[in-house]
Every structure is written in C-alpha cells, then in structure tokens.
Amino acid sequence: MIAKRFARVELSLIRQINALATPLSTNLGIGEPNTEPDETLHEFARRAATVSWHYSANAGAPSLRKKLADDLNEVCVTAGTQEALYAIFQAYVDPGDEVLVPDPGFVAYATLAKICGAEPVPYPLQPPAWDLDADAVISRITPKTKLVIVNSPSNPLGAVASRSALEAIAEAGPLVVSDEVYRQLWYDAEPASMRGMSRKVIVIDGMSKSHAMTGLRIGWALAHPDILKPVITAHQYIATCASVFSQALAEMVLDAKEWNASWLERVRAQFRMQREVALHAIERELEVKIDAPAAAFYAFVPVPSCDTLTFAKTLATDAAVLVIPGAAFGMNGEGFVRISYAASNEAIGTGIERIGGWLRAAGR
C-alpha cells in the first residue's frame, strides 16, 4: 500500500506529453538547454574525474562553499536545485501548513507541499506581462503560511520579477524560497536576486540551466546558517552529499572567471537568437504577439482551446509536435501552452509551423 503522503501525487502532465513522443516528433517541450559543453568544460570534467571520489562534507566541499558565499556556513551544496527544494520542504513544512506557490508555476512546488501533507496555496500571475504582484502574495499569507515560493526568472513564463516586489515579499514575514535556477539566462538586464534581502530568504540555484549540466545534479541552497541547519540535516538523509565529481567541476567553473563570463555570454546570445526565431514564428503561424520573455527559454502562448491538456495531446499525436499544456503549471495556466525554445532554429520553426498548420486545418 502506497504511503498516504504520496496518494495525492500524480504523474506530471509533462511526463504524459513526453510519453507521446515518437522519432518523428519535434520536441518543444524541453526543460533543459540545448547547449553542449565546449572544449574547456570537457577539460574541466576530465580533471574533475581525477579529484577525490570519497564523500565530501554533507553540506559540500568547504572549498566550493567558500566560492558560493562569503561565509561557507551559509551554503548547502545539493544534488540539483530539485533536491534543495525537497530538503527545504522536509525541514520546514508540516501537515496542515500552507505553502504559497506561483500559478502558473513550476510543477514541483505544489507537489512537494502535498508530499508534506501541506496545502499549496496558489498566488496568481497575470498575462500578458506575468509581473509578480507582491500584494497578490502578501494578501494570501495566513498564520498557517510556512513557506512562500518565488521563482524569478519563471518556468514556465520566462518573466522576471521586479526588485521592489521581491523586497516586499522578503519582508512579509514567512520563510521565502527564491528559486533562481534561471537567473543567468537573461536577455536585456540581469534579474535581481533575493540573496541578502532578509534573514528569512533561502536562495536556491545551480548549474543545470546556466551550464547545461542537468544530468550532473549540482545545485545549492544559500541562507543564514540558522535557517540552513535543518536543511543540511534533511540533505544528509536524502543524498549524504552532492556528487564530488560535480562539485569539483562546479568549483573549476567558478574559478575560471573569464571563461565562465564568456560562456554565459555565449549561452545568452544563443538563447536570444532562438527567442527571436520563436517569437517570429509564433506571431506568423499562431497569429499572436506575446511580450518577449525577459529570461529563461520558455514562451507561454495563448491558444484557442479551453482544455490545453487535450490540445497538447492532439498536437503530439496529429501534428507530431510536443508542447506542454499550461494547465500543468496550475489553473491560471489553462488556455496557454509552454513552448520551449531550447531547440535548434529548425526545430523551433518546424514545430511552431506544425502547430499553425494544425490550427488552420482545424478551422481555429
């Protein structure tokens, strides 16, 4: 018999869509960068493989932690941002608590709240700009609110929150988790970090998106040592420590400041181009003009369907293109699909053309 805490956890809609992929599908459902390691990164990886294979300290190698914060006691290195989230929820969320989550927002937040027996309380983000409205968050805080989750830049929206909204939320009272895993992937201006905005903020970040290291599982949580202590304990029982190979690699990346700056510039330039291709195709083929996403690699696009799960499944089977239904990200996502432009220009063009062709053939 399955544990009660997992009874309310469903297979994510993203998995349901991906299950419909065939070799002929164009995949615009992707949640990871289409960048490949360059020779320098490969060389770092070769060197990282020769560093210790033994456990590191639970919270991560001190040398890496020192590079991530002035005080190494403010860092817990984790097996990706996802594990940081899991450890934080385990450390802080009890049955009956409330967790404020963005809607639309990354699927894991509400699910993790449910696993802890807590209630996810969605706060709305509104089209077309999807600005984070601090009042929409603060007005939903109750004595039961244990955590507030903020995600800027946002998956699935690509939207960036204003510094003033982030500051207001940091000061609101409850513990805040600021998921900044997309913060390096910006186009015009660097998104604000919540780091240091208040003692009650935990920032989580990692190298999955910035360095296309999704499979290497390297992330971290940054917070005041008192706040972080139970998170490190949870992390100890989840993962013991993050992979020492990935930790060594992360350290080399952070040490190579010049290379790293140019890598990030190149990655941003690549996504800036792919964003242009996607926005043009969306306007031409889907006849909608959306606000250009300020960061990350997602376009959240309105579609003429009030059941986007069925719509996305139909596109997968009839038009051989994978997109993620907006409903996967919460009720406010209904009526939209998430198009990932972490794909080749050709795939972006073909995929969006196929959606347009299908819509025209269906008379929509």
CB nearer to ligand PLP: pick between 217 and 313: 217
Number of residues in the chain: 364
How far apart, in whole angstroms, are the C-alpha atoms of residue 115 and residue 282?
37
What distance in Å separates the CA atoms of residue 269 and residue 184, rounded to the nearest whole number? Answer: 12
Other Cβ atoms within 10 Å of 128 Cβ, number: 12
Nearest alpha-carbon partner for 131 in 171, 97, 94, 162: 162
185/286 with CB nearer ligand PLP: 185
| CA angle (338, 341, 344) in 5-degree steps | 145
- Those residues whose C-beta lies under 8 Å from the C-beta of residue 36, and which sit 6 or more positions away, are 212
In this structure, what token pair is assigned to residue 161? 């929150």
Strands 175-179 and 119-124: unpaired
Residue (191 or 219) nearer to ligand PLP, CB: 219
3-state secondary structure 239-297: HCCCCHHHHHHHHHHHHCHHHHHHHHHHHHHHHHHHHHHHHHHHHHHHCCCCCCCCECC
**CB-based closest residue to ligand PLP:** 80
Q: Supply the minimum distance, in Å, between the C-beta of residue 52 and ligand PLP.
A: 23
Residue 80 or 333 having the CB closest to ligand PLP: 80
Shortest distance (Å) from residue 218 CB to ligand PLP = 8
Q: How far is the CB of 364 from ligand PLP (least distance, A)?
A: 29
Angle, alpha carbons 325-349-346 (nearest 5°): 120
In terms of CB distance, is 146 or 183 closer to ligand PLP? 183
Rounded least distance, CB 246 to ligand PLP, Å: 11
Closest distance to ligand PLP from the beta carbon of 344 (Å): 20
Q: Between residues 80 and 326, which has the closer beta carbon with respect to ligand PLP? A: 80
Q: Minimum Å distance from CB 194 to ligand PLP?
A: 14
Closest CB to ligand PLP among residues 145, 151: 151
Q: Give least dist CB 205 to ligand PLP, A.
A: 8
* DSSP assignment string, 112-142: HHHHTTPEEEEEE--TTT----HHHHHTT--
Write out the residues near ligand PLP by the rule CB under 6 A. 31, 80-82, 106, 151, 155, 179, 181, 206, 208, 214, 219
